[in-house]
Amino acid sequence: MRNQTKMMIRKALLDRLNKEPLNRITVRALCEDCGINHNTFYYYYADIYAIIQEYFQENMEQVKAAYDETASWEKSFLVAAQPALDNQVALDHIYHSIRKEDLENYIYNVSGDIMIRFVNSINPSLDARKEDRLLIAHFFRCALTSIVLHWIDGGMKEKPEYIINRIGFLMDGSIEEALRRSANEKKLKNSDK
């Protein structure tokens, strides 16, 4: 029953977000939609934003699982984008709310998790500096976050599959080449000692 009530509250919020901006949605309206009282709502959530944060956190777990299954940053990122594709109006309402930093943090965290895993999976036998692996992952994390935020801000017109796969195609091999440079530099420095 407990999980059912939480899911009902989340669904009510998502339904409303697909119709109206976040700043117009109240706890009272969600309680009426669910047929519950305020105490029940506050038993599960501190406020409406807690629902959004929980939703993003659960999606983050799905992204981690998807990466483990695909080992492709492109496919993992598209798994992360699926909730947005299914609820573009809701996403737009969250993005244009006063709490859009929750969405920005979610995208940043997803991008980071995916890129760190991907960079570390590329030719692990290359003796690249750990700091360089992190720096490369951070660079791509920031780039992906920026691209997604611009996509949302632009009305989500392009298909994310095209954008992500195109980036993957254009950047293919660049991470491994950067890691080779790091490993070669490390080798040179060690030979000079």
Same domain, 183 and 98: yes
Tell me which residue of 176, 167, 123 sits closest to 145, measured CA to CA: 167
CATH number of the domain where residue 179 is located: 1.10.357
Same domain, 35 and 70: no
Same domain, 32 and 57: no
pLDDT on residue 68: 65
Sign of CA dihedral 74, 94, 108, 157: positive
Range of the domain at 129: 52-192
- pTM for the model: 0.77
Same domain, 28 and 57: no
Q: What is the pLDDT along the chain (193 residues), one digit of tens a residue?
A: 568 999 999 999 999 999 999 999 999 999 999 999 999 999 999 999 999 988 888 877 777 776 666 667 888 788 777 777 788 888 888 888 877 888 898 889 888 988 998 999 988 899 999 999 999 999 999 999 999 899 888 888 888 888 888 998 999 899 999 999 999 998 887 777 6
* Residues in contact with 12: Cβ distance below 8 Å, sequence separation at least 6, in sequence order: 30, 33, 34
pLDDT on residue 77: 81
Same domain, 59 and 123: yes
pLDDT on residue 80: 74
pLDDT on residue 145: 92
Q: Cα–Cα distance between 76 and 72 in angstroms, integer?
A: 6
Same domain, 97 and 172: yes
CATH number of the domain where residue 8 is located: 1.10.10
Which three-class secondary structure string do you get for 109-146?
HHHHHHHHHHHHHCCCCCCCCHHHHHHHHHHHHHHHHH
pLDDT on residue 45: 95
pLDDT on residue 81: 76
Same domain, 169 and 106: yes
Same domain, 34 and 102: no
Same domain, 41 and 56: no
